[in-house]
Amino acid sequence: MGYYPSEKKKMGEEKLIINSEKVRFIDILSLLLLRRPLASYHFVDAGDGNSGELGSAPGEWFVALTEIIQKALAAAYYPAKYLGIVVEFFLNFVALNGGLIGIVWNIFRCKLVIPLNREAPNFRSMIAMIDGRTELKPMKPTTAGVNDDLESGGCAADSPLIIRHQCLDGEHLLAGEQYSLSEVTVMAAKIAYENAAYIENVVNNVWKFNFVGFYSCWNKFVGSETTQAFVMTERAKDASLILVAFRGTEPFNMQDWSTDVNLSWLGMGPMGHVHVGFLKALGLQEVDGKDATRAFPRQLPTNAGHDKPVAYYKLRDVVRDAARRHPNARVVVTGHSLGGALAAAFPSLLAFHGEADLLARLSAVHTYGSPRVGDATFSSFLATAPGISSNTLSSLRVVYRYDIVPRVPFDAPPVADYRHGGRCVYYDGWYAGKELAAGEDAPNKNYFDPRYLMSMYGNAWGDLIKAIFLGWKEGKDFREGIVSIVYRAAGVLFPGLASHSPRDYVNAIRLGRVAPKEA
């Protein structure tokens, strides 16, 4: 049984939909200068239950700023899209031919490689060009099995899920390397950006785990397959882990960035107010639904009008089937950036629909550089849902430096009432981590606080310099290539951009040390 709202608790009464495509520049000026009630604007659809709260409020300048950003992202959509295609083609062309000298040599030999197939297992996205590492880092033998993830480069004093790699040596099955939960989740979140063939190759042949499937899922509001995720287990039989990893915000996809920044939310009963864009990505059916069961029904309607997989429903079925095949397996959900938001929303929807069998198997939700997903009610919903034990669920949110994405959508109530929840570890300096108190946000919570300007630029320069010398100190696994260095240089111009790179999140897990939480 799931949650079914009473007749008086109609979801349509609690919503704020900002139609950015209808916003004019004169509307932005009006938001800044005239301070009219937000619900009175033609581009705002506010439910009857909360329109009275959306009058003249301190958060209105955040709405104006958000819409300015949305206009800029919309204008950059096609230039960024085609720039991304050209950049990734060029980088793969150089890499697959062994560099500039290799290109000349391959031309001479008539063996020039032209990377026209973006779905090939050796084609890498911009994310993989910035950080091409695929190997998992085993836990140190002295700490493997210890219920403390600090020494293994983890995120906090916690009981990590240990993944045991089984290898066959002749006729004997040997216990191989062990990996911390944080290592597996951060690497899975990183490779989720790649195509299906690339991911399958890494999971099966590099990690020696078991690839279950890659799923490109339909978003009815966008009209295309915009949501990607993959599922794996660490063994083909009798696995102890079922992992779901969502793809994050693609660097050249302005639509992804626009979704992260958007302020629109929908009331979801006991789940609280939830970001509309993330709900749409998972399978929201109606923005103007009269109740929660119509907006996000437990079962996908048969008259959906397409035969494409829808993220929430497809992944729920895949995980349920995997759980049946592996009765001892625990379920872990992860993602970076936009993928982190979907990783937080997916199990919350399972709880919303009363999926007790899957909730009982849920072991961890680990997100890296995730945007805010909902209000304070949402942030605590999963931890208090029936069938969930806060003592066994590892809910972890990792933030690096002044990464811009965890600081959006803005936390500026009553209009933008977005909150982070769960246990957060914030990394600063030379991957020095600090576990934040419950409800505490990372510094500069809305990113545009002028008090942090000097610190943000200092961090960006520090990361650039550190990138140049880190490999000398920590070894070749941490040596950064020219693409990563150039990306960090862009972060000097726009502080917080380079801090969003999955590379720093991987480094934080592998090199980071977390200070004990203050009482």
Q: Is 500 a catalytic residue?
A: yes
H or E segment at 324? helix 311-325
Select which of 131, 149, 375, 403 is catalytic.
Answer: 403
Q: Between 25-33 and 60-75, two packed helices, what is the crossing angle to 10 degrees?
A: 160
Sign of CA dihedral 468, 407, 510, 344: negative
Provide the residue type at 262 as one letter. N
Degrees, nearest 5: CA angle 231-186-81: 80
Of 75, 77, 59, which is closest to residue 409 (Cα–Cα)?
59
Token representation of residue 330:
């625990």
Of 506, 120, 150, which is closest to residue 334 (Cα–Cα)?
506
Q: Is 403 a catalytic residue?
A: yes
- In contact, 313 and 231? CB cutoff 8 Å: no
- In contact, 407 and 445? CB cutoff 8 Å: yes
User: What single DSSP character describes residue 11?
Assistant: G
Select which of 273, 366, 420, 500 is catalytic.
Answer: 500
Say how many Å lie between the first and final Cα of the chain, rounded.
39
Token representation of residue 42:
């033609």
CA distance 101 to 445: 47
Select which of 337, 363, 395, 501 is catalytic.
Answer: 337
Token representation of residue 209:
């785990």
Q: Active-site positions?
A: 337, 403, 500
